[in-house]
A and B are shown apart, each in its own frame.
Chain A
Amino acid sequence: MTDLKNRIIAGERAAIAKAITLVESSREEDIDRSHLLISELIKSPGHAVRVGFSGPPGVGKSTFIESFGSFIIKKNFKLGVLAIDPSSNFTGGSILGDKTRMSEISKNENTFIRSTPSRGSLGGIATGTREAAIILDAAGYDYIFIETVGVGQSEITAANLVDIFTLIVGPGSGDELQGIKKGITEYADIFIVNKHDGDLASQASRTASDYKSAISFYNKDSDDLETQVVLVSSIEGKGMNEVLNAYNNIIETNKKTNQFEIRREQQLAYWLEEEVRNKILLELSNEKGINSLIKSEIQRIISGDTGFYTASKGIIEQFLGKK
């Protein structure tokens, strides 16, 4: 394990890759080794800024990462990308094609690009994504981009992985706008309106100003840094400098206000809770006795022999009693 650790810290590509496999693995023995590795690695943290990207399918997340990624590696930053690819199919296999849209940054010495099939996991985050980011951080990457699958409930999970959470949207029909409820501005640090080019340019600008006014409306009584809106064209590479400035601004401000650290601590709490919750659920589903009890209680509820609350109370008591 220390060998692997040292090789990761030395930035050895193959070691980083093997370690990510380890943290993604569903094999019992791997899980233990993975915990060991991670607890070692967090002792030698790097300085990476973790940036998350979320947004509806097809808005251009991969294309943006290609474009913005090229921009920042030209400035001599090292970039790690963790792309969660949504395309798992009915048999469980998947085609990971995200990288075909990142061919420029893929080729570069100063990048590490890893795709992971989402396997339909909730939150659009694959098992091990958080740990993979820790590995890349320890390996000395300056930026770690995490591309997540689409939208919906996934934002909370995704936002809890990163220092800057970016929501990418397209020149909208206004549909997405309905989706900006108050909540979303709390964890989106920045909105990027993509496809600000060609026929779509004016619509993109309109969308951006719609977002701006919606945000200022919701944000009016908060002292948080106002969520920024940046117009870009990933295809033409426009707006990349503005995005970098916005990111730098967010990081600087958050560091000044201690938000940066506070957020990381809160995230730790979030993941601890998640871990505990998941462990309990796993235990529960592995408990054969409990599973059959649930089945028989369902029958009893249907036949009227017991009630919903009595049954659930009984099941929980039996589960806790067993522990």
Chain B
Amino acid sequence: MTKNKNKSLNNWKDKFTKEVKVDSVEDFFYSTDEEINIKPLYTEADLLDYKFNDISSLPGEWPYTRGPKASMYTNRPWTVRQYAGFSTAEESNKFYKKNLEAGQMGLSVAFDLPTHRGYDSDDELVVGDVGKAGVAIDTVEDMKVLFNEIPLDKMSVSMTMNGAVLPILAAFIVAGEEQGFDKKVLSGTIQNDILKEFMVRNTYIYPPEPSMKIVGDIIEYTAKEMPKFNSISISGYHMQEAGANNVQELAFTLADGMEYVRAALSKGLAVDDFAPRLSFFFAIGTDFFMEIAKLRAARTLWAKIMKDFGAENEKSLTLRTHCQTSGVSLTQKDPYNNIVRTSYEALSAVLGGTQSLHTNSFDEAIALPTEFSSRIARNTQLILQNETGITNTVDPLAGSYFVEKLTEDMCAAAWKIIKEVEELGGMTKAVAAGIPKLKIEESATQKQAKVDSGKRVVVGVNKFKNPNEPKIDVLVIDNEKVREDQIRKMNLVKSNRDSKLLEACLDNITNSAKNNEGNLLALTIEAIRARGTVGEVSKALENAFGRHYATNVGVSGVYGKFFEKDDKFMDIQKKINLFEKEKGRRPRVLIVKMGQDGHDRGAKIVATSFADLGFDIDMGPLFQTSKDVAKDAIENDVHAIGVSTLAAGHKTLVPALMQSLKELDKDNKIIVFVGGVIPEQDYQFLYDNNVSAIFGPGTSILDSAEEVIKLISEKNN
């Protein structure tokens, strides 16, 4: 650095400190959630001494920071790929075709939760969940309907499926086959990323070890048989949505990737045989530049990682990714604001160089999108592509002092975590020990505390509230009807199949799983061809592998620490202590998740925060039935039950719970309240079913705690 430049930088510092009246510029550093210090100014001096980021590199060139391809969007813009699925295959198929006509470029299938968890629609464990949060698929016939009039040789299809990945991918392959296309021509992506299911997404079925074997089998099979198909989508998206900060998201995702590479290598594949078909998936949240830097850092680090694995093919070295704007950044309050938020996030994803993108709808925190809200979400991307000129230049932010430095900082911070994970023996071990999950929960709790304390502004939620909340239409799905339809269709399939043949196929699966022989995907394809259902195949695997039940450890003290001297916090504590004095024990609340809904971020944050406030919290496991919950509640004599429900099962599950409670104790005085994603249209229904209070997205935990202790105190007087 020349003397002159140094001098002018010092001049700037003087001016700055005078303007903002601080002693030094450092006082104005902003520490992000990732604990990266953001400076008020970046200069040429910040371009020096990089370990990872090579600022002289070009797009499509090592270390690929500037993009996996030389031409990027100038040749072909990113793929507009909206994630969707609901109700039956018939309904979803109609929706897909309309979207494709309106400018969407690729498909992305959202399955319902029973399918995710390997249950058929007629299973009594899933009554509240069929068709609610995605499309219900029980047999290959459903799959064929889903892609009716959508030519699978041309359309690239992404499928978010992890737990029941074998029957679903098999059904896709057989559907293609019966449409007349060999599996060789099918293009698309299967998520097939099980590690993050154990961490955050919660649609696992089998224990970690056999689950990793399934991943390996799929990579092996597709590497040999499906050259145009991405065998895995290594996903950080769900981590950020569960509360991870950007460095955690980046580090854990790449560390997961390394684990999958090892799983494939252990199958005897050569790295360049499968690595070109590994793809990624990241979330793009509100921190505009951080997100751009994250994508650039991801490519940089992945290139390094793959080189260390001995990859030589350029396609193995380049990280290609899908992105989705952040759902958790979107609010139930003043929901049209979400269009603006999503636009910025989309811009961030594009400036970061994503290969494909999903933009969320403004009704994200209310229900699945309507046709109207989906159109705006899609058009957000189409406007970016067609009207802003953004596709004319590759990696337009390269050379920005700030973005380059942030890219380097992200690389360094993530690398540190990756090394720690490697020292633990890799991600499978770290996940089994629950470490990443705990870190993410801690981060999520901190984020909640920042919003509840007003340290972080969310427009329309904790500041600038809209006094006239708009009424908006929501998509309503009649799950009873979907369930009936599904059962009818499934029974039809069952009555027309060769059950001997199927039985043999299912036995083969169980035996192969038990003896660790053969490729499970190949065997599953046989069973699906023989009209086995998703549930039957999953059961055949379960017979060998068992089902996985997660154990809950939670963070403690994280929320309370934020409010050490806060008046409201202390006031609630006082009320709780008073209650204990008068009643001989603390107010005791059971917080539960029922059905197949695996959204546990809210429930866990509320549980730990309530405990910090002084409640005794019983935390139930995931996937409970109303009967399980009632038994737990009665045996532990809790004052209240807090039902956290986000996957739209509330109208079935809450009345069922009330019924189960009555059956165990007709005079019970247990208060039931509900938190999570509940469209306002359903509030009255819940109140009519004796729900005492409803806490929707954006509720301050302190407010809900105040209400809960009030309700409990009143009831017990």
Give A residues with C-beta under 8 Å from B: 13-14, 16-18, 20-21, 24-27, 30, 62-63, 87, 89-97, 99-101, 103-104, 106-107, 112-115, 117
Contact = CB atoms under 8 A, between A and B. Distances in A.
A13 B632 CA distance: 10
Contact of B584 (A14, A17, A25, A113): A25
B584 A90 contact: no
Given A94-B616, A97-B552, 15 more contacts: A13-B631, A18-B637, A25-B585, A27-B582, A91-B560, A91-B612, A93-B576, A93-B586, A93-B615, A96-B636, A97-B554, A106-B628, A107-B628, A114-B635, A115-B618
Contact of A89 (B556, B585, B627): B556
A171 to B, nearest CB: 15
A14 B633 CA distance: 10
23 contacts: A13-B635, A14-B665, A17-B634, A17-B635, A18-B637, A25-B583, A26-B585, A91-B560, A91-B613, A93-B611, A93-B613, A93-B614, A93-B615, A94-B616, A95-B556, A97-B553, A100-B552, A100-B621, A106-B631, A107-B631, A112-B635, A113-B632, A114-B635
A113 B621 CA distance: 14
B560 A90 contact: yes
A26 B580 CA distance: 8
A93 B576 CA distance: 9
B665 A96 contact: no
Contacts of A27: 582-584
A286 to B, nearest CB: 15
Contacts of B665: 13-14
Interface string B624-648: 0101100110111100000000000
A119 B290 CA distance: 43
B608 interface: yes
Contacts of B614: 91-93
Contacts of B631: 13, 106-107
A92 B584 CA distance: 14
Given A14-B664, A89-B556, A21 B617 contact: no
Given A14-B668, A24-B585, A26-B585, A94 B613 contact: no
A62 B551 CA distance: 10
A87 B556 contact: yes
Interface residues of B, number: 45
Contacts of A95: 554, 556, 607-608, 611, 617, 619
A92 B620 contact: no
A17 B633 CA distance: 10
A42 B611 CA distance: 36
Nearest to B550: A100
Contacts of A17: 634-637
A99 B628 CA distance: 12
A93 B637 contact: no
Contact of A92 (B577, B608, B664): B577
B573 interface: yes
Interface centre among B554, B583, B618 (most CB of A within 10 A): B618
A282 B381 CA distance: 71
Given A13-B631, A106-B628, A99 B556 contact: no
Nearest to B554: A95
B110 to A, nearest CB: 27
Contact of A114 (B584, B636, B668): B636
Contacts of A115: 618, 636
Nearest to B628: A107
B372 interface: no
A92 B586 contact: yes
Contact of A13 (B554, B607, B620, B634): B634
